[in-house]
Amino acid sequence: MKKTTLQRAWLIAAAIAAGYSTTLTTPATAGSLSAAKTVQTTASASLSQEVYTAATAFYNTLDSSQQSTVQLDWSLNAARRWSNLPARLVARNGIAWGNLSSAQKTAANTLIATALGKKGAAMQTGLMAADDYLAANGGGSSYGQGNYYIAFLGSPSTSNFWMLQITGHHLTWNIAFNGSYASPTPVFMGVEPKGSFTQGGTTYDPMKAQRTAFANLGAALTAYSGAKLSGTYSDLLFGANGSGNIDGTCPRNYASVTDHGLLYTSLSDADQKLVKAAIKSYVKTQAKEYADDLLSAYLDSAALASTYVAYAGTGNVTTKGNYFRIEGPRLWIEYSVQNGVIFNSEIHYHTIWRDKTGDYGGSCLSS
């Protein structure tokens, strides 16, 4: 691992631990995304090596019992054990954040910062803080960042397939390395409370970028009659809603969806930019290597020509039951406005980002 990369990860981790995640900024990326129509199908040696180094460092802070808890054999069935319900209701893989020492949490933060980059690490911190906020405001011990988990599915490696899974109540990453596809999906992001909150003296708004992107897109879509879906949507179609409240059948039956909304190419240039902004709000939560790779696939002109956008309800992100979807050849994003649980007079959000071919590093594809 390059020294400068490790130093950068340490700085990010230190900022996270200090509670300054919301002030972290991402420098502008020089140049533009590759125009190539073919997409890199494996992680390069760069990110794979960096994450392997950070994963090994974290693993070496654990005692033998903790090591056997965090390290699991790879299987697709094991990988699918995540949920959007609190971990006290649905068990998770790996070791609980609440069972880590301060030194171990520092090493875990370094691993998260290395695997995700600044924006993803800030999302992780903000959504864990949201769970602390729920715990402190009526949710009790079922909530709180101590109920987040880290697991290695397969042995960390620079060349062999393995997956880093970080999961809790309202956030799950399934970051695959050395697989058929460079992908962190499926990714579940949700948040309660719905917007800005202060916890432990720090103010967070972890899903501001996604909420803002879909608020802007929803307002634009209401001008297009073809974008409105028939019927109502009480939650995500393809969230973690399989038997046992874990991720469902693999691959998901996308062909069962027959109401797609409106083609991206039917939108005005200005409104097309809003679709791209919504997509980027999810993909740019990843390390640059993965984000660039995925955006080159999702935003390719041929892919966009087969991408649909849709909404149900009234088109805003403030009304329970409103729903949004972006669906491309590989891309699947859903955004659902839910009733509050702890704050039941309010709303909160459930969202999912899937890659139809890249979920679990491509392991979700039919043989």
- Check residue 244 and give left, alpha or beta (phi > 0: left; psi -120 to 50: alpha): left
Cα separation, 280 vs 263, in Å, equals 18
Q: What tens digit of pLDDT does each residue of 76-87 get?
A: 999 999 999 999
Domain boundaries, the chain: 3-22+41-194+206-362
Q: CA 132 to CA 197: how far, in whole Å?
A: 11
- Span 292-302, mean pLDDT? 98
Render pLDDT for 209-248 as a digit per residue (tens, 0 to 9): 999 999 999 999 999 999 999 999 999 999 998 888 899 9
Give the pairing of strands 187-191 and 347-355: antiparallel
Return the pLDDT at 103.
98
Rg (CA), the chain: 19
Mean pLDDT over each residue of the chain, to the nearest integer: 89
Q: One-letter amino acid identity for 352?
A: I
At 366 the pLDDT is: 58
| Predicted pLDDT at 253 | 93
